[in-house]
Amino acid sequence: METQAPRPFPMNAWYAAAWDYEVKRELLPRTICNKKIVFWRKSDGSVSALEDACWHRLLPLSLGTLKGDEVVCGYHGLVFDGHGRCTRMPSQETLNPSACVRSYPTVEKHRFVWVWPGDPALADPALVPDLHWNNDPEWAGDGKLIHAKCDYRLVIDNLMDLTHETFVHGSSIGNDAVAEAPFVSTHGDRMATISRWMIDIDAPPFWRGQLGKPDNVDRWQIIRFEAPATVAIDVGVAVTGTGAPEGDRSQGVNGYVLNTVTPETDTTCLYFWAFVRNYRIHDQTLTTQTREGVSSIFREDEYVLERQQQAMNEHPGRVFYNLNIDAGSMWARRLIDKMVAEETKPAATLRAAE
């Protein structure tokens, strides 16, 4: 499948392909950046990822079977190892030396299996986005995977501007304070941050319940984007006047909304998210409650984003106007565009542009 220029996502990046528990001793097909890939866990626990199309007749390998650590095509029985090399063909002893399918680098970190769809030579595990809260023993929580029918960048836009909470999530986490509060924007080479503090406000229903106190609160939302597709949001409330803006959060509750959004195709994405907290970390009921609560909230976003994608499909080439609130998404998109431009400039490695 060809993508239109300019490509909406860089290829030389780690993208979450699955939650760790999803990759088992069986064949899992996923599409990442328009590439169909079959994943499986080998007997040593590592994860193999191959192009999901047999070299011979294109049948998806994921329709075949796993035999030991190798995949057997479900049509004519060609066998491929985890590196994509064909190790057996029917009715012939000599294997065609060209018989191989593309393999992709993978790494497992922070409860996700990550895949690198671009040039394998550049796949440095140190570049995996920082979502360490997701398996840090000081934090607890859980998340889900949303298969959203929109460009992954619309999810990023949505996360970089939380004023939409007031209008999309008015019944749970939104109130007028979010849309009215000022924010500070900073950015670096791969990062962009939007910080918003709402001082001495009435807590919205969700946070009121987490805090368990009737006082007015200082509420914070510190949104940290890491290019190309990860957003970790430091959120919470503390009793107003107890010093949270200055760094003392002891009279409050703190969570992280962890998000990483993987382009599936140009107009669909795999949106992995988790909500973790550093209080009542052994309370599994609270973990389940908040996971399901956040899941309901994110369904509201999903509906809006899919309708926005449909509207964009009907208005091709439309340029968007930006408001003050769009500062965060503007920076995020600039950093994404820079990554794409770097890997598609004439001198860039050809393998990345495959």
Minimum distance from residue 17 beta carbon to a copy of itself (Å): 19
Cα 3 to Cα 118: distance, rounded to the nearest angstrom: 14
State how far the Cα of 276 lies from the Cα of 255, in Å rounded to an integer.
6
User: Are the C-beta atoms of 47 and 116 separated by less than 8 Å?
Assistant: no
Distance CA 309, CA 322 (A): 17
- By CB under 8 A, the residues from 238 to 297 that bind a copy of itself are none
> What is the smallest separation between the CB atom of 197 and a copy of itself, expressed in angstroms?
14
> Any bridge partners for residue 109, and if so which?
112
Among positions 200, 205, 284, 320, the unique one binding a copy of itself when judged by CB under 8 A: 320
Does position 179 bind a copy of itself by CB under 8 A? yes
Number of residues that bind a copy of itself (CB under 8 A): 49
Residue 141 Cα to chain centre, angstroms: 17
Q: Which of 7, 42, 76, 149 binds a copy of itself (CB under 8 A)?
A: 76
3-state secondary structure of 24: coil
Backbone angles phi, psi at 48, to 5 degrees: -95, 150
Query: Which region among 252-260, 272-280, 308-316, 338-346 touches a copy of itself (by CB under 8 A)?
Result: 308-316
Question: In this structure, are residues 230 and 110 in contact, taking their beta carbons and an 8 Å threshold?
Answer: no
From 18, 33, 38, 73, residue interacting with a copy of itself (rule: CB under 8 A) = 73
- Determine, following the binding rule CB under 8 A, whether residue 98 of this chain makes contact with a copy of itself: yes
Residue number with CB closer to a copy of itself (46 or 324):
324
Is residue 4 at the binding interface for a copy of itself, with CB under 8 A as the rule? Answer: no
- Considering only residues 91, 247, 346, 350, which one is a binding residue for a copy of itself as defined by CB under 8 A? 91
By CB under 8 A, residue 298 contacts a copy of itself: no
159 binds a copy of itself (CB under 8 A): no
As a whole number of angstroms, the distance between CA 44 and CA 85 comes to: 19
Q: Is 161 in the site for a copy of itself (CB under 8 A)?
A: yes
Task: Using the rule CB under 8 A, give the single segment among 116-124, 200-208, 210-218, 306-314 that binds a copy of itself.
Answer: 306-314
**What distances in angstroms separate CA 158 from CA 16, 75, 91, 162, 167, one per listed residue?**
19, 44, 55, 7, 12
Query: Are the C-beta atoms of 6 and 17 separated by less than 8 Å?
Result: no
CA-to-CA dists, residue 24 to 18, 117, 140, angstroms: 11, 21, 24
Please say which residue, 191 or 312, places its beta carbon nearer to a copy of itself.
312
Instruction: Name 109's Cβ contacts closer than 8 Å, sequence gap at least 6.
Output: 125, 128
Q: Output the smallest distance, CB 91 to a copy of itself, in A.
A: 5
Binding-site member from 127, 191, 286, 312 for a copy of itself (CB under 8 A): 312
C-alpha to C-alpha distance for 253 and 211, rounded to whole angstroms: 6
CB of 143 to a copy of itself, least distance (A): 24
Q: How far is the CB of 124 from a copy of itself (least distance, A)?
A: 30
Choose between 133 and 152: whose C-beta lies nearer to a copy of itself.
152
Q: For strands 106-109 and 112-115, give the pairing.
A: antiparallel
CA distance 330 to 59: 41
Distance, in Å, from the CA atom of 299 to the CA atom of 49, rounded to the nearest integer, reads 30
Among 121, 311, 341, 353, binds a copy of itself (CB under 8 A): 311
The tokens describing 184, both together, are 């500070």
When asked if residue 127 is in the footprint of a copy of itself (CB under 8 A), the reply is no
Is 74 near a copy of itself (CB under 8 A)? yes
Shortest spacing between CB 51 and a copy of itself, in angstroms: 10
Cβ 52 to a copy of itself, closest distance in Å?
9
Based on its alpha-carbon atoms, the radius of gyration of the chain, rounded to whole angstroms, reads 22
- What residues make contact with a copy of itself under the rule CB under 8 A? 1, 36, 53, 55-60, 63-64, 72-77, 89-92, 96, 98-99, 157, 161, 163-164, 166-168, 179-183, 304, 307-308, 311-312, 314-315, 318, 320-321, 323-325
